[in-house]
Structure 1
Amino acid sequence: MSGTFFGLGVGPGDPELLTLKAHRLLQRVDVVCFITNKDGYSLAADIARESLPTTRRQRHLPIEIAMCRDRTLIEQAYDQAAAQIGEALDHGHDVAFLCEGDPLFYGSFAYLLARLAPDYPCTSVPGISSLQAAGSALTQPLTTQGDRLAVISGLEDERDLLDALERFETVFIMKGGRRRHHIAAVIERAGRAHECAYLEHISTPAETRLRTLSRLPDGPGPYFSVFVVSRHHRSTP
């Protein structure tokens, strides 16, 4: 009998935002898998470190995936990871794959799920996403009754960004750090700069919250950054 593959959401950064269900699962699974950068660091594993067992042996399976736009290399890395995870599952070991935020909200788990679900039992443990964490960090509603919410990647072209800004009361723009000044210019063009906040590394010690785009630093920002454009925005803390 094969093991089960779990996509496990560890939340946006604060270890205390890990759910009890995720914590308990981490205590019992045989293998914990996570993505690392080229230096071997994994934010997801760092978030979950306090929930890993100390009284029993557990195998850790790091997977290096380059942060690049070459999808061929990235798909090859997922293929290799799926093969390693599949081997563990074949031996009856349960495997938990750690994901920042929620596994199925822009999560890498989706790519492994597509490869493994046809042959193995798979399930997901939800985590607090950057969307929810941003609303909490700003202490403002993301939506209220009658509002429409759009979630869009900061990598989308200007036309799609403008369309979302024109049609939705709240627009959540993810992964916009590298293009943050371009995105800010689009938000200005849409006439909604006064409704915008910019956040980085939400719920971590490095968290940055800017309630006005005029304070946006020069140059590109980090991968873990978001814009929240909302009718409910308050420009003062």
Structure 2
Amino acid sequence: MENGKLYGVGVGPGDPELITLKAVNTIRKCDIIAVPRSGESEKVAFSIAKGAVNDIECKEIVEIDMPMTRDKDILNASHEAGANILIDLIKKGKNIAFLTLGDPCIYSTYIYIHKRVLSKGYSAEIIPGVPSFCAVAARLNEGLVEGAEPLHIIPASYKGASEGLDFKGTKVLMKTGRSINKVKESLKEKGLYENAKMVQRCTMDGEAVFDSLDDVDESSSYFSIIVVKDKE
């Protein structure tokens, strides 16, 4: 029996109309849909795909345990176990679409599985999606960078994020989470606070646009992205 293949499918930021045609066709041709068992974003990813692929609920759904933790030992063990579950299906000739919000190459849980499947000699392919920060820029109705301006993607709740604000060019702050007040303080210290805008749940139900961070607090959604332009 010929082996199947794993596809990491980016479903875009929220609006089903922003899923690529290639992503839709990949989901349709796959035998199995894989989603992580934990994490709000992954439930949203399936909901988005459902809005674009009518028969997705007729497919076999496999949940992969992906705990929400930063403990490296726990994460490595779960990623290894998840990869092995999918490899067993691949060896049975199954093609699998692993759904991920946005693009699989940007802070996705999928990429850890992808690397392990490849390292064990099996086929895996990434199907790109519209990144959330591109949707945010479109919602703000402005570009991210022009000419020779650099673009920096910064995980705002992790160590070193404040130093990233010193980079020249546009800063996109992702993974803010409950660190939003700390992020606001860092922006004020760097003199960038007035240059920051935020979109919460971009292209999803409950979308909110903040031209100022004054109205943003720790109750803000997990799906929030801040765009910070250089001082003029």
1:151 to 153, 178, 185: 153
Structure 2 unmatched runs, 5+? none
Q: Does the CA contact (< 8 Å) of 2:196 and 2:213 recur in 1? A: yes
Which position in structure 2 is the counterpart of 1:8?
Answer: 9
Does the C-alpha gap of structure 1 residues 30 and 104 become closer, same or farther in structure 2, counting only changes over 3 Å? same
How far is 1:220 from its partner?
A: 4.6
Q: CA deviation at 1:93?
A: 0.9
Deviation at 1:113, TM superposition (A): 1.1
Alignment of 1:17-56 (within 5 A): 17-37=18-38, 42-52=43-53, 54=55
Q: Output the CA distance in 1 between the equivalents of 2:195 and 2:39.
A: 38
Cα shift readout 1:161-209 (whole Å, capped 9, x = no counterpart): 3432222220011100210010011001100111101222111012121
Residue by residue over 1:84-122, the C-alpha shift from the partner in whole angstroms, topping out at 9 and shown as x without a partner, is 110110011111110100011111121001110021111
RMSD of the TM alignment (CA)? Answer: 2.2
Structure 1 residues 32 and 56: CA distance shift in structure 2, 3 A: closer
Aligned residue pairs: how many? 229
1:148 Cα deviation from its structure 2 partner: 1.3
Moved more, 98-107 or 162-171: 162-171
Q: Is the 8 A contact 1:13 1:204 kept in 2?
A: yes
Asked if the contact 2:50/2:57 (under 8 Å) is kept, the reply is no
| Higher deviation after alignment, 186-195 or 197-206 | 197-206
Partner of 2:63: 62
Query: Match for residue 125 of structure 2?
Result: 123
1:164 counterpart residue number: 164
Instruction: Report the secondary structure of 2:203's partner residue.
Output: coil
Tell me, what secondary structure is at the counterpart of 2:125?
strand
Aligned-pair CA distance for 1:136: 0.8
SS in 2 for 1:178: helix
Structure 2 Cα separation of the partners of residues 53 and 81 of structure 1: 27
Separation of aligned partners in 1, 2:130 and 2:57: 27
Task: Give how far 1:223 is off.
Answer: 2.3
Please say which of residues 66-75 and 143-152 is displaced more in the overlay: 66-75
User: Which letter does structure 2 place at the counterpart of 1:214?
Assistant: D
Query: Cα gap change, 1:13/1:232 in structure 2, threshold over 3 Å: closer, same or farther?
Result: farther
Uncovered stretches (5+) of structure 1, i.e. residues with no partner: none
Q: Partner letter of residue 166 of structure 1?
A: D
- Residue matched to 2:227: 228
Match of 2:174 in 1: 174
SS at match of 1:61: strand
**Sequence identity, in percent?**
25
* 2:94 corresponds to: 93
The structure-2 alpha-carbon separation of the partners of 1:68 and 1:161, relative to structure 1 and needing over 3 Å to count, comes to closer
1:213 corresponds to: 213
